[in-house]
Amino acid sequence: MKYPKEYYMDTYEKLTFARQYEMKVPELLATGKLPGFYHLAVGQEAIQMAIYLEKEDADWLSPHPRCHPLYALTCGINDFTTEMIGRKSSLCGGVASYVHIFSPEHHICPSNGLMGENQAIGAGFGLALTEFDDTEGCLILGIGDGTLEEGAVNEVMNVIASRNLKVCMIIENNDITISTRKHDVSRLRDPGERAYGMGLPVMFGDGNDIFEARELIRIGLEKARRGEPNVISLKTYRLRGHFEGDPTVYRDPAETEEAMKHEPVKRCREFLMSKGIATEEELNAIDEAQGKIVNAAFEQAVQAEIPTPEDVIGPELVFAD
């Protein structure tokens, strides 16, 4: 074993939390208990959990919106869940959900409905913390392969590189932009190759192997904190539609079935058991404990107060003094 057992068990715990958190959404949508519109990251959880496990308190995080479990762990599971479904939370009062969430006290940069804008705004945090602050932390800039084509993203990648901003950009490459395949809209073999044109170093890895993802992200964040901006491109697969309810007519179900064989939770379990690090019973016990946390979070969230007009309308909410 390269690491102590707790390292592996903690990693699995976060991964199973993320999977169960995501899968709770379609379950509740089916019962009609859940309002809203959800973009799940089922199949891609390893990358965001690797980020969660490797980031330090001083770091700032500007993830892409398809990151519910990462937001939940960073901002507080119950509070985030309440916010996510548009109920009154201590985060953004239920007006933001995951698409517009911003929580400076948790070092979470603004999320965004406009692809590319959270990366561009995030880069501004990178500028401020590098050039106007003496923090130890760096900016973790999450992005999907689709958003990488936005103009503003390429503009700020260039600025990050030219000013040596303390930024690690982590590309979550699921090879699909809603329904459009990467090879139909890009000549790059891997989106991470974009880094070459920006003068940024890049590492490539398997984003469905959470242990590999953790190691690459650890290296990337250490470099970023030293003022060496860098890119990591991690390959993964989106097992569900772009949004819940998307019938995925653009994709052969056989492809998804094949991808299920390589999904990160299954792979992590197989690895831990085959190496003798954990037994199936131990892993099942972790699943059960995390499932309870997820259930409790959603239960309290659906019972939380719905914002009233007084809660969401007011000049003081639009303008600062």
Binding-site ranges for other proteins (CB under 8 A): 91-96, 100-104, 109-110, 112-114, 117, 120-129, 131-133, 151-156, 158-159, 162, 314, 316-321
Question: What H or E segment, with its residue span, contains residue 34?
Answer: none
Cβ atoms within 10 Å of 175's Cβ, excluding its own: 15
Phi, psi of 97 (to 5 degrees): 55, -160
- Phi-psi region for residue 52, left (φ > 0), alpha (ψ -120 to 50) or beta? alpha
Residue with tokens 């030219």: 162
Looking at the Cβ atoms of 23 and 128, the one nearer to other proteins is 128
Tell the smallest beta-carbon distance from residue 103 to other proteins (Å).
Answer: 8
Looking at the Cβ atoms of 129 and 148, the one nearer to other proteins is 129
Tell the smallest beta-carbon distance from residue 233 to other proteins (Å).
Answer: 20
Looking at the Cβ atoms of 159 and 273, the one nearer to other proteins is 159
Tell the smallest beta-carbon distance from residue 286 to other proteins (Å).
Answer: 35
Tell the smallest beta-carbon distance from residue 134 to other proteins (Å).
Answer: 13
Tell the smallest beta-carbon distance from residue 299 to other proteins (Å).
Answer: 23
- With a CB cutoff of 8 Å and minimum separation 6, the contacts of 140 are 51, 55, 59, 60, 61, 62, 63, 167, 168, 170, 221, 224
- Phi-psi region for residue 314, left (φ > 0), alpha (ψ -120 to 50) or beta? left
Looking at the Cβ atoms of 113 and 245, the one nearer to other proteins is 113
Tell the smallest beta-carbon distance from residue 128 to other proteins (Å).
Answer: 4
Neighbour-count burial for 47-64, b at 16+ CB within 10 Å, e otherwise: bbbbbbbbbeeebbbbbb
Looking at the Cβ atoms of 123 and 265, the one nearer to other proteins is 123
Looking at the Cβ atoms of 164 and 248, the one nearer to other proteins is 164
Question: What H or E segment, with its residue span, contains residue 96?
Answer: none
Tell the smallest beta-carbon distance from residue 287 to other proteins (Å).
Answer: 35
Closest CA to 174 of 234, 231, 236, 115: 236
Sign of CA dihedral 280, 260, 38, 184: positive
- With a CB cutoff of 8 Å and minimum separation 6, the contacts of 5 are 277, 278
Looking at the Cβ atoms of 254 and 320, the one nearer to other proteins is 320
